[in-house]
Amino acid sequence: MNLEKKTAVSALNFTKKFGDLIAVDNISFSIKQGEIVGLLGPNGAGKTTTIRMITGVFPLNKNAKLKIFDKDIDPSNRSYKINFGIVPEISNAYRDFTVWQNIRFNAKIYGMNKKALQIRGIKLLKTFQLEDKSNKKTKTLSKGLKQRLNFCMALIHNPSILILDEPTAGLDPISVNILRNQIEGFKKEGKSIFLTTHNLSEAQRLCDRILIMNKGRIIADEHPDVLREKFKPQLKILVKFQSKLSQSQLDNFNRVFTFEKQIDDFFIFSSKDPLNDISRLHNFVKKENLQIGKLKFKEPTLEEAFIHIINEDEFK
């Protein structure tokens, strides 16, 4: 039995220009079956354009190739789009349709029969806690409920690849929690998920791999922990002394360590060589006849790693 996971989406040499602006600059990436891949990047990095190229809203450039489950896709044969379930940031459900009418419309577009629609539709309404809202007009729903409806519409035909464009942006914590739990559930079901987000803690919690895009290029493609690991030199050391430092002690401390800030009696400084810095701190404490009250280490967050990568790319 072949236990190797299939590649659900393989994008090769994607390029998209709008006049002189290169929105997507010859990028290639893949998403494995059952994998959650996060696409991060500042506004205008080319994330949405990339999604639009995969989903066929924008045509592929001549030398671009798209493979779905290892099969070359002919963009003129739109049948491949049935593999996708797309959840946008802003609801695109018909405002004057009820929740159920929107779900039914999507089911019909994908060629589902009445029985399949009933079974799947009711299950999704339950999953996303929208059962009591099924007869409500979409325009009367809150943003969170509309986004849950978007999930129902995207999942009605049970697609194997989910494309989520900032699915939790601006939602209430209850909706965010429901949606994040569901996204983790879809992964367990074996669905492949391509997720764009500005919420880095969300990316860290959900994603198996993160692609960072800037100026149309992919500048990083790693596991979230690996991305953070790469910035280990930026580990932060927080030290609190048992007694208040005199001015001369403070000057000496400043000479030994370049501390960034002081918060609640904690002196915080970045460390490129934590072992060496701890040893220097020990010597400093001994020499100044001080005692350490508390010592903490703060690992770099994905957010810090992200900002560092983008800044590094900007100054290249």
Cβ nearer to another protein, comparing 105 with 266: 105
Which of 30, 127, 134, 158 binds another protein (CB under 8 A)? It is 158
Which of 17, 18, 28, 71 binds another protein (CB under 8 A)? It is 71
Contact set for another protein, span 99-128 (CB under 8 A): 105-106, 108-111
Beta-carbon count within 10 A of 142 CB:
12
Which of 7, 15, 61, 83 binds another protein (CB under 8 A)? It is 83
> Is residue 94 a contact point for another protein (CB under 8 A)?
yes
What is the residue whose two structure tokens read 């190739």? Answer: 65
CB of 195 to another protein, least distance (A): 16
Instruction: Report how far residue 21's alpha carbon sits from residue 40's, in angstroms, rounded to the nearest whole number.
Output: 20
Q: Which stretch binds another protein (CB under 8 A): 88-96, 127-135, 225-233, 273-281?
A: 88-96
Strand partners, 193: 36, 162
CB of 86 to another protein, least distance (A): 5
What length is written for the chain? 316
Q: Residue 82 carries which DSSP code?
A: G
What is the residue whose two structure tokens read 């922990």? Answer: 225
CB of 163 to another protein, least distance (A): 8
> Is residue 39 a contact point for another protein (CB under 8 A)?
no
Q: Which stretch binds another protein (CB under 8 A): 10-18, 156-164, 197-205, 222-230?
A: 156-164
> Is residue 148 a contact point for another protein (CB under 8 A)?
no
> Is residue 65 a contact point for another protein (CB under 8 A)?
no
> Is residue 57 a contact point for another protein (CB under 8 A)?
yes
C-beta of residue 40 within 8 angstroms of C-beta of residue 306: yes
Q: Residue 273 carries which DSSP code?
A: S
Instruction: Report how far residue 29's alpha carbon sits from residue 21's, in angstroms, rounded to the nearest whole number.
Output: 21
Cβ nearer to another protein, comparing 53 with 305: 53
Instruction: Report how far residue 174's alpha carbon sits from residue 171's, in angstroms, rounded to the nearest whole number.
Output: 8
Our CA angle for 268, 273, 274, nearest 5°, is 55
CB of 206 to another protein, least distance (A): 17
Q: Which stretch binds another protein (CB under 8 A): 74-82, 219-227, 232-240, 267-275?
A: 74-82
Beta-carbon count within 10 A of 38 CB:
24
C-beta of residue 16 within 8 angstroms of C-beta of residue 56: no
274-287 vs 247-256: helix axis angle to the nearest 10? 160
Residues that bind another protein (CB under 8 A): 33-34, 52, 55-57, 68-69, 71, 77-79, 81-84, 86, 88, 90-97, 105-106, 108-111, 153, 157-160, 189-192
